[in-house]
Amino acid sequence: MTDGVPLPQLFGGQLVAQSLVAAGRSVDEHVLPHSIHTSFLRGGLPDEPVDYRVEVLRDGRQTATREVSAWQGERLVCRSTVSSTSLMGGLAHSRPAPATEGLEAAVDLHVLAEPDGGLGEFWDDFSAFEIRVEPPLVPADHWASAPQNVWMRCTQDLPDDPLSHRAAIAYASDLMLMSTAVTPHGHTTGHETSLARRWWAVSLDHAVWFHRDADAGDWLLFEHSTSAAGGSRALVDAAVFAPDGTQTCRITQEALVRPARPHQEI
């Protein structure tokens, strides 16, 4: 994260989404990814192309598994395991969506950021999504703070196919997720510029499970929460709900989070 300037590395959600598409294009059209597990190995360079190399790990009658490696030249940036299936029926249930104030009570992220000097230039890359956040917005003082409800929808025209919508949701799965890790340590939701000044953070790994199809152009509710942190590593997750209240996917991320110091690397 940076202080009001473009991100010095590729956005993790971009790598996850593009890895998902690369795997999805290697199987039949009716076989859809139901999970992706990504390990981030190096920061991706924003001005260099990414070469996605797909390895077939398994092709079954109803399932397929792919390993996708993202390369920039000789640098391996991340590696993902993508599991896909043609099974769409059978066992199904969903926890109900959380009781919330609703989209009408949510505040646009740009408005939330105004007291903090705005979002900064690096957020321009995320203009493909409209983001609103529900109160409460004040910092928490303990780990058991209420989950943060974030509403997001894709504003771009997407192809009418499930893979494209799952990829868009995978991209959004990394938006505002890491900041949840420091909410119990005084972070005010929406103050992303202050977050970048105070904390140095990097995603270590990221996982998304897709339970059913969803339209990324709908307002989707992302219920962000953090349950534990230790050794400067924080675990954050999110449940994603469609407008009808059904849970469409689950997200988990582990991030390395430290107080910011100049030129810090791992």
- The answer as to whether 40 is a domain residue is yes
Helix-, strand-, coil-residue percentages of the chain, each rounded to 5: 20, 35, 40
Place of tokens 């003082």: 141
pLDDT tens for 67-105 read: 999 999 999 999 999 999 998 888 899 999 998 888 999
pTM for the full predicted model: 0.89
* Lowest mean pLDDT segment, chosen from 137-146, 148-157, 160-169: 137-146
> What is the percent of the chain with per-residue pLDDT over 90, rounded to a whole number?
61
3-state secondary structure 71-114: EECCEEEEEEEEEEECCCCCCCCCCCCCCCCCHHHCEEHHHHHH
- The answer as to whether 3 is a domain residue is no
Give the three-state DSSP class for 157: coil
- The answer as to whether 177 is a domain residue is yes
Give the per-residue pLDDT at 111: 82
| 186 close to 142: Cβ distance less than 8 angstroms | no
| 79 close to 42: Cβ distance less than 8 angstroms | no
- The answer as to whether 6 is a domain residue is no
- The answer as to whether 75 is a domain residue is yes
- The answer as to whether 5 is a domain residue is no
Separation between Cα atoms, residue 233 and residue 254, nearest integer Å: 7
- The answer as to whether 160 is a domain residue is yes
Please tell me the total count of domains within the chain: 1
| 86 close to 30: Cβ distance less than 8 angstroms | yes
Separation between Cα atoms, residue 168 and residue 184, nearest integer Å: 29
Place of tokens 């030129």: 263
Evaluate if residue 112 carries a pLDDT over 50. yes
Domain that holds residue 202: 12-259
CATH at residue 82: 2.40.160.210
* Lowest mean pLDDT segment, chosen from 11-20, 108-117, 226-235: 108-117
pLDDT, the chain, mean: 86
- The answer as to whether 266 is a domain residue is no
Evaluate if residue 11 carries a pLDDT over 60. yes
Closest CA to 80 of 20, 41, 130, 37: 37
Higher pLDDT, 164 or 137: 164
